[in-house]
Structure 1
Amino acid sequence: MAIQKRTVGVIGTGNVGVAAAYALFMQQTASDLILLDKDQRRAEGEALDLMHGQTFAGPTRVRVGDYADLAEAQVIVIAAGVGQRPGETRLDLMERNVAVFRAILTELDRHAPTALLVIATNPVDVLTYVAQELSTRPPQRILGTGTMLDTARFRSLLGEHYGVDPRSVHAYILGEHGDTEFPVWSDARIGGLRLVGNTINGRPYDRPALDAIFERTRRSAYDIIERKGYTNLAIGLVIARLVQTILDGQHSVLPVSVRLQGEYGISGVCLSLPGIVSENGLETSILPELDDTELAAMHHSANVLRERIAEALPGQVGQELKTQEAG
């Protein structure tokens, strides 16, 4: 029986798009990988470079295409965006990125209306909401990478602290992928045992040490950018994991950026909650029991994001959002 063709598009071959394409290629997630970029020659160079690794990774076909070629794609990753110019405000940058997304979504709705979209461009929560507003496809078929990377960093640092495999750590960073994100300490566990109040692998509960781990998590992107100028490798792996979850219909629970519709008394924003992800996109959100501090942090994150969405989408949608309150 023939294996079903699995086609994935990557729009934007900057640092993040290329890292995602490389991870998808090395993991053989797709049988056909299509790269798109405004700079077509760069995209061609990246495609050729990847194709030359087929001997070592496997026969994934990598090619440059246009929007019409994405008609056969099941999943499309959007990693395109513009960088900040000297003297440019955050609002100016946001307006230019919204213009980029408007052009991209117009083409995708025309040529690939049924593909599931993965948004990786920052600010990912705002641009996930923007994409859902600009596209005709159902919102549950547009997911942001959200706090998947933050959660991975968090679990890695907790695993190092407790001397266990990070894959055995069950803890989440939720809310915004950014400064207002927060840890769910009340339900963080290793081997089913809560971290709060317990000794694990000889390590007693030490709240200041755990708070320092969260602060390192929250500052990770800044630390990496300070040293190498950008982040791309880990987010590339995150994107590949999310795409594989979708293509395989794994029904995995992942902290992705989705639109809230009354969860925790919040609506009108996209931010990260644990959600069941399958070939249909978001099946349903999982709502962990938050303590009062965590719930307040969730509302704060939503309020900050609501203001940014109002800036990104001025006019009727933006003004309506600006006047809402998270709870």
Structure 2
Amino acid sequence: MTTDRRKVVLIGTGMVGMSFAYSLVNQGGICNELVLIDVNTVRANGEAMDLNHGLAFAKSNMKIYAGEYKDCKDADIVVIAAGVAQKEGETRLDLLKRNVEVFRSIVTPVVRSGFDGIFLVATNPVDIMTRVTYELSRFGASRVIGTGTSLDTARLRYLLGDYFTVDPKNIHAYVIGEHGDSEFVPLSQVMMATKPVMKILEDERNSYCIDDMQSIEEQVRTAAYKIIEAKRATYYGIGMALTRIVKAILGDENSVLTVSAKLCGEYGYRDVFIGVPSIIGRNGVKEIIELDLNEEEKEKFKSSVNVLNEHFDPLEL
């Protein structure tokens, strides 16, 4: 993998893909070459032109162009944001069968190009689509990553920060499990700086309560549905989440992000791809951090694993 060149290929120039590309350009310095690939080549060319025309206002120079699958050969990261859109009222898992066929037409030519970098998947249902990418590519598990619950975790920290009137950066909390209806917040692991939030909630001297935590968890879980109802799709937040993960990989940051990663015995499970805190560096997933869940949280995690396995097992790959 040519880490010094920092080349990223984006497959899928819809709203999610282009929100990522726009975020990448505006943050600057993360990569110096961005290739756009789409089944609609006219659109990919138009998007490349549009981004290039704004480079004079960007923080750093980038080479941006519409390309083909052969351009993946020397890329560091291939980001997959292609797929059919989630409809109003449709769960992420409802998208599965429609998107598997899309991925068959993407992963095979990417691998045939000689690509030897990291796959980063954003397409929903992201945990299953990440596992589909892993099965189709036959890459090592550490080099196939999904956005997982990274955006959900950002939403959680924002809401908790607002609730406690604390900078979200000083809230240490994670949403784990399926990026979908069975995701949950292991409240036993939530910290404000180094103080467990459970201790704050138990302190009768303040007005904070456990019911508010459950309300916040529900807001996080249903956020995408509300955004889709209001504006038909979600894309800015996930675009920024993709940028953050790419930055962690290319910068070899060893940052902890809640990505969709393959369990190899962690939490007592194997093979399933699911959102868990993971250390992310230049080679992808360096390590999965296993949280010390209580019994109730372990049951919730088990339920999430079961949901993902039930939907993946019938697939023919």
Q: TM exceeds 0.5?
A: yes
Correspondence for 2:17 = 17
Question: Taking structure 1 as reference, are residues 244 and 127 closer, same or farther at Cα in structure 2, changes over 3 Å only?
Answer: same
Change (3 A) 1:166 1:91: closer
Match of 2:123 in 1: 121
The within-5 A match list for 1:292-307 is 292-307=295-310
Q: Distance in 2 between matches of 1:84 and 1:310?
A: 22
Q: How do 1:250-289 residues align onto structure 2 when only pairs under 5 Å count? A: 250-289=253-292
- Per the alignment, residue 148 of structure 1 pairs with 150
- Identity across aligned pairs (percent)? 43
Give, in whole Å, the separation in 2 of the partners of 1:205 and 1:196.
10
TM-score w.r.t. the length of structure 2 is 0.93
Tell me the residue number matched to 1:56: 57
Check whether the contact 2:133–2:144 (CA below 8 A) recurs between aligned residues: yes
Residue identity opposite 1:6 in structure 2: R
What runs of 5+ residues in structure 2 fail to find an aligned partner?
A: none
Give the direction of change, closer, same or farther, for the CA distance of 1:257–1:192 in structure 2 (3 Å limit): same
Could you report, residue by residue, the CA deviation over 1:12-65 in whole angstroms, capped at 9, with x for unpaired residues?
A: 000100001111111121101100000111111111111111111031121000
1:32 alignment counterpart:
33
Give secondary structure in 1 for the equivalent of 2:23. Answer: helix
Question: SS of 1:121's equivalent?
Answer: coil
- Following superposition, the deviation at residue 4 of structure 1 comes to 3.1
Aligned counterpart, 1:233: 236
Change (3 A) 1:191 1:84: closer
Once residues 299 and 6 of structure 2 are traced to their aligned partners in structure 1, the CA distance between those partners, rounded to angstroms, is 42
What amino acid is aligned across from residue 183 of structure 1 in structure 2? V
The Cα shift of 1:11 comes to: 0.2
Superposition pairs for residues 156-167 of structure 1, below 5 Å?
A: 156-167=158-169
Q: State whether residues 162 and 203 of structure 1, in contact with CA within 8 Å, keep that contact through their aligned partners in structure 2.
A: no
Give the structure 1 partner of residue 195 of structure 2.
193
Aligned-partner Cα distance in 2 for 1:205–1:50: 46
Secondary structure of the residue that 2:250 maps to in structure 1?
A: helix
Secondary structure class of the residue paired with 2:129:
helix
CA distance in 2, matches of 1:204, 1:146: 33
Q: Which of 138, 141, 146 is residue 140 of structure 2 equivalent to?
A: 138
Post-superposition offset of 1:83? 3.6
Q: Is the contact made by 1:195 and 1:205 (CA closer than 8 Å) also made in structure 2?
A: no
Shift in Å, 1:94: 2.5
Please, which runs of 5 or more residues in structure 1 have no aligned partner? 318-327
CA 1:210/1:135 → structure 2, altered by over 3 Å: closer, same or farther?
same
Would you say 1:224 and 2:242 are equivalent positions?
no
Q: CA deviation at 1:90?
A: 8.5
CA distance in 1, matches of 2:271, 2:246: 26
Amino acid at match of 1:299: K
Q: CA deviation at 1:268?
A: 2.9
Q: What's 1:184 paired with?
A: 186
Distance 1:63 1:183 in 2: 40
Distance (Å, rounded) in 2 between the aligned partners of 1:137 and 1:149: 25
Instruction: Report the residue type matching 2:216 in the other structure.
Output: I
Q: Which amino acid aligns with 2:191?
A: R
Q: What amino acid sits opposite 1:131 in the alignment?
A: T
Confirm or deny: 8 A CA contact 2:186 2:293 kept in the other structure.
yes
Counterpart of 2:108?
106
SS at match of 1:179: coil
SS at match of 1:73: coil
Distance (Å, rounded) in 1 between the aligned partners of 2:282 and 2:221: 30
SS in 1 for 2:257: strand
Displacement over 4 Å in runs of 4+ = 88-93
Aligned length: 310
Distance (Å, rounded) in 2 between the aligned partners of 1:89 and 1:125? 13
Amino acid in structure 1 at the alignment position of 2:289: I
Q: Per-residue deviation at 1:85?
A: 8.5
Question: Which has the larger displacement, 207-216 or 91-100?
Answer: 91-100
> Residue deviations 1:200-258, cap 9 Å, x none?
9x854400011101111111001111111100001000000000100011011111101
Moved more, 263-272 or 22-31: 263-272
- The alignment's C-alpha RMSD in Å is 2.1
